């Protein structure tokens, strides 16, 4: 059982985490939800379309203008509090690697800290433990925040992913983070080239076999773009194909831009796997 905030999710229940970037320079939406009202409208739409988790980020992942911890907190803390007020049952996640920001958003009502940079600030897990919130433990290949990989090599990329993510998860639990609130993430594109990310997807079952719930952040990423030679705005189909494969292999949480489309893919895969009945079953029964 995965427990996040007020919500519990069964082992075969796919969960959508909708991305809400509070940044003016996000790679996909170019700041569409930087201001409060568009961002709150995005939350409302995502929840209506089936997102159980809202992932709020104040710094884009790629290189760009420096964003201090104070500015990151300014972009996220008040927004977390307002989302908590308007949507008391939604799971609020904050995408941050900084313990100072983690502390501030937990005070404001966050349920989950999404550490996409692989524990680069070890005190973030301590914050999660102190507040009793969840933690995403991600493989970033040792990369520093907001850097791009350059000629990264692994003897066995999945072995490295397993060693790092399981190690981070076990450390988090030892610090006091609830075991049922810890997830592991292979970190597509983070500290990886396209072939690494494709292999991580292909071998995702090895992560699932550890028993930790697996989160995948696939949405419109560069490995999809390079695989299909498509620009950012034309990667939705590739993302959804990768989502279907990940769902079949047992990933549970999906961090996405397109909520409604992802919901259909996950429901279809769950029905094929026998975990969900068809919404309607009339054919051949009349």
SS3 240: helix
Compute CA distances 68 → 7, 57, 98, 101, 105, whole Å. Answer: 32, 13, 10, 10, 15
**Active site positions, annotated:** 221, 255
Strands 7-9 and 2-4, how do they pair? antiparallel
- The separation between CA 273 and the C-alpha centre of its own chain, rounded to angstroms, equals 23
Residues 6+ apart with CB under 8 A from 251: 14, 204, 207, 208, 214, 215, 216
Q: Cα dihedral sign for 97, 102, 104, 106? A: positive
Compute φ and ψ for 55, nearest 5 degrees: -105, 115
Residues 6+ apart with CB under 8 A from 241: none
SS3 167: helix
Closest by Cα among 98, 66, 96, 64 to 80: 96
Closest by Cα among 143, 141, 166, 138 to 155: 141
What does DSSP assign to residue 107?
A: H
């Amino acid at each position: 059982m995965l427990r996040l905030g007020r919500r519990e999710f069964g082992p075969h229940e796919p969960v959508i985490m909708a991305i809400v970037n509070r940044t003016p320079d996000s790679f996909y939406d170019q700041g569409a939800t930087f201001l409060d009202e568009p961002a709150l409208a995005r939350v409302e739409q995502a929840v209506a379309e089936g997102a159980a988790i809202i992932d709020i980020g104040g710094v884009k992942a790629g290189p760009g203008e420096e964003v201090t911890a104070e500015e990151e907190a300014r972009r996220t803390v008040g927004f977390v509090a307002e989302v908590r007020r308007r949507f008391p049952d939604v799971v609020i996640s904050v995408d941050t690697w900084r313990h100072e920001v983690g502390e501030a958003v937990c005070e404001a009502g966050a349920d989950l800290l999404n550490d996409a940079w692989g524990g680069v600030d070890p005190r973030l897990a301590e914050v999660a433990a102190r507040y009793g919130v969840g933690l995403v433990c991600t493989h970033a290949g040792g990369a520093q925040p907001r850097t791009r990989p350059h000629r990264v090599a692994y003897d066995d990329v999945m072995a490295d992913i397993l060693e790092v993510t399981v190690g981070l998860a076990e450390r988090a639990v030892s610090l006091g983070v609830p075991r049922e609130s810890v997830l592991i993430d292979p970190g597509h594109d983070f500290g990886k080239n396209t072939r690494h990310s494709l292999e991580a997807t292909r071998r995702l079952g090895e992560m699932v076999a550890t028993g930790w719930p697996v989160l995948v952040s696939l949405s419109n990423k560069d490995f999809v773009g390079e695989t299909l030679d498509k620009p950012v705005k034309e990667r939705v189909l590739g993302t959804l194909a990768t989502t279907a494969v990940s769902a079949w292999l047992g990933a549970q949480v999906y961090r996405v831009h397109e909520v409604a489309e992802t919901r259909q893919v996950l429901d279809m895969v769950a029905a094929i796997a026998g975990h969900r009945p068809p919404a309607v079953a009339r054919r051949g029964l009349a």
